[in-house]
């Protein structure tokens, strides 16, 4: 009797946990661990979405980001784009319903993936300030813009419309988002500033107008007027499937038989392959997809595993391109040597991907300490969790010693080097929902390492050449040191008819002729943008001059008297 | 041609090649045993013509500049009729900034190269060594000049008491008067003292010279001039060890690799080695010391690489024997048979019996 009562009591407490309330309790999974990171995450999600939308609509993106300090660690974030806009009925779910979006259901290279990002940002804003998110959207050709103020109904994961109206907007089309949130604004590598800068570097086709909380405006101007090759949407490849996804696809499909489900909803599966899969799974090709049970789905997975299927098409990936990558690096770093490579496409678990790597060596970079690694996934800068990232592992496992850098085993190499790694894929595997580190798939690590070896070899031959030139110039300097002595002694030996200056000049030219022209390794970098390079760097601590220090040291003594 | 003019011409040659935009170079004979052969007829080591070259390369530019500066210093000394010791020349170089010498052996080497280049000895280019030439006692009158008055003075080496006459660093101006029958060149000062103390030179009518190890250039030149002038045989008496044979005696008789360019003047081809030979060690049952590894190595090296030893079977035999018995004996080991055994028995016996000598 008692136990029944307890079960009843428990049952009264058991209910659906909405996605929204789950994430409310686990916000760190989405990148809202602390105030500083939250600000970055919000801007990142909004900007990524804006760029994706513009590109999809063939519009050269122009994005304005504005931060306003409201005091008490509260900031207003305003992001406005010139994208295609969002149709009225989609505005509430896109911004106020978690896991709602277009990107999760299709496979194509895009910045955002899961459709969690922007609504999570809205939720964070709501949780920390209680204020609704303000959205203005205008679709091309429409006379007026739609304006919404939205809350998320956290218990039910659905939008709650606070205010809704139409208004005029001088813009032809676009979206403007405004939200207030608890945040902390700081400089440094993991700052909003640096994120926007790195975004500009790998996306030379966009313009970002950024106004920071101190009301300083920076314009990251568009460098090329061509949109990147549009990524092609592909159907998933069977090898990339997970059970849950397969079951959802079985539920959603329009196909009437397993056979047609396999051929229609997947890439690289023809009727023959479909039959083969069914045979290996011991399922009838005529089975209705809706009738497939969990056990049958597991059999189907097994069947896929045991069937040989051609790799997915790889022309769906749009890399940055080695030239554009190098140009971006040159703007950022005043180095002596740059090189970059775009690897041929490869596949992990049925997902095509491309790895690109670039590096900048020497110049104004400090020779002490570890190298700098800049990471990008689908043109989005990754600023957190470098240590957990596949790129980091690949850099550590690459033997930089043979390329002229020092490196102790199991750590990053040392030297004046910046390495850029970009992975583009229809589905970039991150280690967590906050999309900060790329998962350690062996295929991906292998490709990154191959890319690093490629640029590393070029670096190696440059570093060795530089060492040779350095040694040669040291030798010449050494020889030249003694030329005046030869001239002086000859004058002492022969008399004043000897012109010392002429002897020095002739000996120097004989030396040049004998040893050949000395190649120079000076920094020649026309692309370098000093202002840009400063953005996102840790502000230097204000230095006290020597005189001031002395005064400070004297002060205690004076007090004692 | 005067040495001064020779130096100037060398410098002009270098200057002209610079004016023609050609790589200037200085060539000097390689001074080492690998660049000499033993000329039996002449009786000394002669150069075989290997040259070393200095020009505008990393490894030679410094010595190239130093050689020119050394030549300039030498020219100045000659013009002013001045002299500088080797050490003084080294200190002069301290004004040459990066071309200065950091140690005296470096400046000595460059000096020897200039000397070799010009084919003269260093006194002729104004440089003199600090070291003493050696000590003389016995039946000899050295005719020298008073440095102030220039008047001739005669030094009687029989009247040095328990001391000795010291060979000056330059011996070219000396003249000799003697009726001695031979010259005895002795390795150690200790043995020299014993022979002087007991007036050995009077008994055997000879001139005693203490070389004090490997004879200096002045000592070699002195013995050479004295023995040539007065046609005196020269007997050499050293410790019975590879150093005594290969370094002291060999250098006195035929010169050295390092000074090959001037061996002609600084050798005593008529010198004979009277002891202590490896045979003496056995014959006189001398107390011995075991040979060290370095000694054995030196013996091997002499047999294999020394052109003089290679020329003489007797020396090879003697050295091979020493390597076999693996012991050496000092001059003073003869004292085992009495302090004056060397005077009363050993030297008279050895000088009498040519068969016990080595060439």
Last residue of a domain, one of B102, B128, B154: B128
Summarised one tens digit per residue, pLDDT across range A470-514 is: 888 888 899 999 999 999 999 999 988 889 999 999 998 888 888
pLDDT at residue B65 greater than cutoff 70 = yes
Q: What angle do CA A287, A288, A290 make, to 5 degrees?
A: 135
Residue B228, domain extent:
135-356
Q: Contact at 8 Å (CB) between B101 and B107?
A: yes
Looking at per-residue pLDDT, the higher value among B15 and A536 belongs to B15
Beta strand B234-237 with B271-275 is: parallel
What average pLDDT does the structure give for chain B? Answer: 90
Using pLDDT thresholds of 50, 70 and 90, give the confidence band for residue A46: very high
Sign for the CA dihedral angle at B162, B166, B167, B173 comes to: negative
pLDDT tens digit sequence for B215-227: 988 899 999 999 9
Could you state, in order of their start, the residue ranges of all structural domains in chain A? 19-220, 238-305, 322-462
Q: What is the pLDDT of residues A22-45, one digit of tens each?
A: 766 777 777 788 888 889 989 988
Q: Tell me chain B's radius of gyration from C-alpha atoms.
A: 22
pLDDT at A20: 65
B145 and B244 in a common domain: yes
Q: What is the pLDDT of residue A552?
A: 40
> Poorest-confidence range of A224-238, A444-458, B13-27, B202-216?
A224-238
Task: Choose the closest CB to B21 out of A489, A492, A506.
Answer: A506
Q: Out of A98-107, A265-274, B174-183, B325-334, which region has the weakest mean confidence (pLDDT)?
A: A98-107
Average pLDDT in the A230-235 region? 80
Q: Is the pLDDT of residue B30 over 80?
A: yes
| A19-28, B187-196, B347-356: the lowest-pLDDT one | A19-28
Structure tokens of A425?
Answer: 């894929």
Q: Quick one: B319 and B213 in the same domain?
A: yes
Q: pTM for this one?
A: 0.65
Mean pLDDT over each residue of chain A, to the nearest integer: 84
Residues in CB range of A254: below 8 A, 6 or more apart: A264
Using a CB-CB distance cutoff of 8 angstroms, which residues of chain A are in contact with residue B58? 475, 478-479
Contact A479 B57 (CB under 8 A): yes
The token pair that represents B190 in the structure block: 């200790």
Of B72, B93, B128, the last residue of a domain is B128
Question: Is B12 within 8 Å of chain A by CB?
Answer: yes
A344 token code pair: 């041929």
What pLDDT digit, counting tens, does each position of B253-282 carry? 998 888 888 888 889 999 999 989 999 999
Q: Does B7 touch chain A (CB under 8 A)?
A: yes
| Helices assigned H by DSSP within A282-321 | 294-305
Is B58 within 8 Å of A513 when comparing Cβ atoms? no
CB-CB contact of B68 with A493 (8 Å): yes
* DSSP conformation letters of B129-161: -SS---EEEES-EEEEE-TTT--EEEEETT--T
Residue B139's domain is classified under what CATH number?
A: 3.40.1360.10
Contact yes or no for A478 and B61 at CB 8 A: yes
Nearest of A205, A251, A243 to residue A54 by alpha carbon: A205
Contact A417, A360 (CB under 8 A): yes
- Cα–Cα distance list, A113 to A32, A49, A101, A142 (Å): 18, 10, 9, 29
CATH assignment, A19-220: 3.30.565.10
Note whether A493 contacts B57, CB cutoff 8 Å. Answer: no
- The residues, any chain, with a CB within 8 Å of residue A99's CB and separated by 6 or more, are A19, A114, A115, A116, A119, A157
Tens of pLDDT, residues B132-142:
678 999 999 99
Residues B205, B341, single domain; the answer is yes
Q: In this complex, which of A475, A482, A514 lies closest to B99 when CB atoms are compared?
A: A482
Above 70 in pLDDT, residue A126? Answer: yes
- With CB atoms and an 8 Å threshold, state whether A494 touches B57: no
CATH 1.10.3720.10 correct for A238-305: no
A-chain residues near B56 (CB < 8 A): 479, 507, 510-511, 514
Q: Is the pLDDT of residue A540 over 70?
A: no
pLDDT per residue as tens digits for the range A175-196: 999 999 999 998 888 889 989 9
Measured between CB atoms, does B64 come within 8 Å of chain A?
Answer: yes
**pLDDT score recorded for residue A553:** 41
B44 is catalytic: no
Note whether B99 contacts A: Cβ–Cβ < 8 A: yes
The per-residue pLDDT for A245 is 80
Q: Cβ A492–B21 below 8 Å, yes or no?
A: no
Residue-level pLDDT at A114: 53
pLDDT attached to residue A559: 41
Same-domain pairing of B118 and B161: no
The burial of A344, by beta-carbon neighbours within 10 Å (0-12 exposed, 13-18 middle, 19 or more buried), is given as exposed
Helix or strand or coil: residue B116? helix
B57 and B151 share one domain = no
> Dihedral angle at the C-alpha atoms of B140, B141, B143, B146, nearest 10 degrees?
120
Same domain, B210 and B69: no
May I ask the CATH class of domain A322-462?
alpha beta
- Tell me what percent of the residues of chain A surpass a pLDDT of 70: 89
A480 to chain B, closest Cα gap in Å: 9
Q: Which of B15, B44, B90, B91 is catalytic?
A: B91
Neighbours of A214 (CB within 10 A): 9
Domain CATH code at residue B61: 1.10.10.10
The burial class, CB within 10 Å (0-12 / 13-18 / 19+), for B352 is: exposed
Please answer yes or no on whether B21 and A513 come within 8 Å at the CB atom.
yes
Q: What is the mean pLDDT of residues A286-309?
A: 90
Give the range among A259-273, A513-527, B294-308 with minimum mean pLDDT.
A513-527
pLDDT at A12: 67
pLDDT in tens, A51-96: 989 998 999 999 999 999 998 999 999 999 999 999 998 899 888 8
**Angle of helix B61-79 relative to helix B3-19, nearest 10 degrees?**
140
> Which pLDDT score, from 0 to 100, does residue B11 have?
92
Residues of B with CB below 8 A from A509's CB? 21
Question: Which of A487, A493, A504, A510 would best serve as a mutation to test chain B binding (most B beta carbons within 10 A)?
Answer: A493
Residues of B in contact with A490 (CB under 8 A): 11, 14-15, 18, 68
Q: Give yes or no for B312 touching A (CB within 8 A).
A: no
Which of the two residues, A245 and A44, has the higher pLDDT score? A44
Cβ-based contacts under 8 A for chains A and B = 73
Task: Pick the last residue of a domain from B92, B112, B128.
Answer: B128
What are B214's two structure tokens?
């490997």
The pLDDT of residue A560 is: 39
pLDDT tens-place string over residues B131-169: 667 899 999 999 998 888 889 999 999 998 888 999 988
pLDDT at position A85: 92
Q: Which residues of A fall within a CB distance of 8 Å from B97?
A: 485
> From the DSSP assignment, how many helices (H) and strands (E) are in chain B?
15, 17
Encode A351-371 in three state secondary structure: EEEEEEEEEEECCCCCCCCEC
Give the per-residue pLDDT at A549: 40
How many Å lie between the alpha carbon of B114 and the closest alpha carbon of chain A? 14
Segment B317-322 long-range contacts (CB within 8 Å, at least 24 positions apart): B318/B245, B318/B277, B318/B278, B318/B279, B318/B358, B319/B242, B319/B245, B319/B278, B321/B278, B321/B279, B322/B240, B322/B241, B322/B242, B322/B278, B322/B291
Strands A145-153 and A351-361: unpaired
In terms of Cβ atoms closer than 10 Å to its own Cβ (0-12, 13-18, 19+), residue A519 is exposed
For residues B139 and B124, membership in a common domain is answered with no
Which of left, alpha, beta for A2 (phi over 0: left; psi -120 to 50: alpha)?
A: alpha
Q: Give the range among A12-26, A186-200, A411-425, A438-452 with minimum mean pLDDT.
A: A12-26
B241 — pLDDT class (breaks 50, 70, 90): very high
Q: Is B189 on the interface with A (CB under 8 A)?
A: no
Do residues A310 and A316 touch, judged by C-beta distance below 8 A? Answer: no
Contact residues, chain A to chain B, C-beta under 8 Å: 475, 478-479, 481-482, 485-486, 488-490, 492-494, 498, 503, 506-507, 509-511, 513-514
pLDDT at B34 over 70: yes
Residue B235 contacts A, CB cutoff 8 Å: no
Are residues B142 and B123 located together in one domain of the fold? Answer: no
pLDDT band at A539 (very low <50, low <70, confident <90, very high): low
Q: Do B75 and A492 touch (CB under 8 A)?
A: yes
- Range with lowest mean pLDDT among A518-522, B48-52, B257-261, B290-294: A518-522
Indicate the number of domains in chain B: 2
Contact B15 A485 (CB under 8 A): no
Check whether residue B213 and residue B311 sit in a common domain: yes
Taking the CA atoms of residue B194, residue B196, residue B197 and residue B203 in that order, the dihedral angle to the nearest 10 degrees is 110
Query: B83 and B178 in one domain?
Result: no
Angstrom distance (rounded) from CA A312 to CA A425: 12
Q: Do B18 and A503 touch (CB under 8 A)?
A: yes
pLDDT band at A101 (very low <50, low <70, confident <90, very high): low
Give mean pLDDT, residues A354-369: 89
pLDDT tens readout for residues B293-351:
999 999 999 999 899 999 999 999 999 999 999 999 999 999 989 888 999 999 999 99
Query: What percent of chain A is helix, strand and coil (3-state, nearest 5)?
Result: 45, 20, 40
Least confident of A46-55, A69-78, A266-275, A305-314: A305-314
The b-or-e profile of A309-338 (16+ CB within 10 A means b, else e) is beebbeebbbbbebebbbbbbbbbbbbbbb
């Amino acid at each position: 009797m008692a136990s029944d009562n307890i079960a009843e009591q428990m049952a009264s407490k058991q209910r659906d946990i909405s996605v929204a309330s789950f994430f409310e309790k686990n916000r760190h999974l989405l990148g809202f661990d602390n105030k500083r990171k939250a600000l970055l995450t919000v801007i990142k999600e909004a900007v990524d979405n804006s760029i994706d939308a513009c590109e999809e609509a063939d519009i050269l993106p122009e994005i304005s980001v504005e931060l306003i300090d409201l005091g008490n660690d509260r900031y207003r974030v305003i992001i406005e784009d010139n994208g295609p806009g969002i149709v009225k009925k989609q505005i509430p779910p896109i911004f106020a319903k978690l896991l709602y979006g277009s990107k999760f259901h299709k496979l194509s290279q895009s910045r955002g993936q899961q459709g969690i990002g922007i609504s999570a940002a809205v939720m964070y804003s709501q949780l920390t300030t209680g204020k609704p998110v303000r959205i203005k959207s205008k679709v091309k050709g429409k006379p007026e813009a739609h304006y919404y103020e939205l809350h998320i109904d956290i218990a039910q994961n659905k939008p709650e419309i606070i205010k809704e109206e139409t208004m005029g907007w001088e813009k032809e089309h676009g979206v403007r988002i405004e939200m207030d949130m608890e945040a902390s604004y700081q400089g440094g590598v993991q700052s909003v500033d640096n994120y926007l800068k790195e975004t500009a570097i790998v996306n030379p086709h966009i313009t970002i107008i950024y106004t920071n909380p101190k009301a300083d405006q920076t314009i990251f101007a568009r460098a090329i007027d061509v949109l990147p090759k549009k990524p092609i949407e592909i159907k998933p490849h069977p090898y990339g499937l997970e059970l849950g996804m397969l079951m959802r696809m079985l539920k959603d499909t329009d196909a009437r038989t397993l056979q047609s489900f396999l051929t229609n909803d997947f890439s690289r599966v023809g009727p023959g392959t479909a039959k083969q899969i069914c045979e290996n799974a011991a399922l009838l090709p005529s089975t209705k997809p809706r009738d497939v049970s969990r056990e049958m789905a597991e059999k189907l997975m097994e069947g896929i595993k045991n069937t040989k299927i051609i790799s997915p098409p790889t022309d769906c990936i749009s890399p940055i391109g080695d030239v554009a990558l190098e140009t971006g690096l040159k703007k950022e770093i005043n180095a002596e040597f740059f090189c970059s490579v775009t690897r041929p496409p490869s596949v992990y678990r049925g997902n095509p991907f491309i790895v690109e790597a670039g590096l900048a060596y020497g110049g104004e970079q400090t020779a002490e300490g570890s190298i700098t690694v800049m990471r990008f996934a689908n043109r989005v800068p990754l600023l957190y969790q470098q240590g957990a990232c596949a790129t980091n592992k690949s850099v550590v496992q690459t033997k930089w010693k043979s390329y002229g850098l020092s490196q102790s085993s199991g750590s990053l190499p040392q030297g004046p080097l910046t390495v850029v790694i970009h992975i583009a894929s229809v589905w970039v595997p991150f280690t967590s929902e906050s999309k900060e580190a790329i998962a350690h798939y062996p295929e991906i690590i292998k490709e990154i390492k191959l890319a690093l070896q490629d640029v590393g070899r070029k670096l190696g031959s440059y570093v060795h050449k530089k060492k040779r030139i350095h040694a040669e110039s040291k030798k010449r300097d050494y020889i030249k040191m003694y030329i005046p002595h030869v001239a002086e002694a000859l004058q002492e030996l022969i008399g004043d008819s000897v012109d010392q200056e002429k002897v020095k000049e002739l000996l120097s030219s004989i030396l040049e002729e004998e040893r050949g022209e000395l190649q120079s390794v000076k920094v020649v970098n026309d692309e370098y943008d000093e202002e840009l390079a400063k953005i996102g760097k840790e502000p230097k601590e204000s230095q006290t001059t020597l005189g001031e220090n002395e005064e400070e040291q004297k002060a205690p003594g004076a007090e004692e008297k | 041609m005067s040495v001064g003019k020779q130096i100037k011409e060398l410098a002009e040659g270098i200057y002209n090649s610079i004016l023609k935009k050609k790589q200037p170079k200085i060539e000097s004979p390689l001074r080492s045993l690998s660049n000499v052969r033993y000329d039996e007829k002449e009786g000394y080591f002669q150069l075989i013509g290997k040259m070393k070259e200095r020009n505008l390369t990393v490894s030679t530019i410094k010595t190239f500049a130093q050689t020119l500066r050394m030549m300039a210093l030498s020219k100045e000394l000659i013009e002013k009729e001045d002299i500088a010791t080797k050490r003084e020349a080294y200190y002069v170089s301290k004004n040459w900034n990066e071309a200065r010498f950091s140690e005296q052996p470096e400046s000595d080497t460059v000096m020897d190269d200039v000397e070799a280049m010009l084919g003269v000895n260093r006194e002729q280019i104004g440089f003199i060594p600090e070291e003493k030439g050696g000590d003389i006692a016995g039946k000899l009158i050295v005719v020298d000049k008073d440095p102030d008055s220039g008047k001739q003075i005669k030094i009687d080496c029989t009247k040095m008491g328990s001391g000795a006459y010291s060979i000056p660093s330059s011996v070219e101006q000396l003249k000799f008067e003697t009726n001695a029958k031979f010259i005895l060149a002795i390795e150690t000062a200790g043995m020299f003292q014993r022979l002087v103390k007991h007036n050995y030179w009077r008994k055997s009518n000879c001139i005693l010279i203490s070389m004090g190890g490997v004879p200096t250039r002045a000592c070699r030149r002195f013995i050479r001039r004295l023995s040539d002038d007065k046609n005196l045989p020269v007997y050499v008496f050293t410790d019975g060890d590879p150093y005594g044979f290969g370094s002291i005696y060999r250098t006195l008789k035929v010169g050295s690799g390092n000074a090959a360019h001037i061996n002609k003047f600084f050798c005593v081809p008529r010198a004979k080695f009277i002891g202590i030979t490896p045979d003496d060690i056995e014959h006189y049952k001398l107390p011995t010391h075991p040979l060290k590894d370095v000694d054995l190595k030196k013996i091997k090296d002499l047999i294999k690489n020394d052109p003089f030893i290679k020329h003489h079977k007797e020396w090879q035999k003697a050295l091979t024997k020493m390597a076999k018995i693996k012991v050496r004996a000092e001059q003073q080991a003869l004292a085992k048979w009495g302090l004056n055994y060397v005077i009363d028995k050993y030297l008279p016996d050895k000088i009498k019996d040519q068969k016990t000598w080595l060439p």
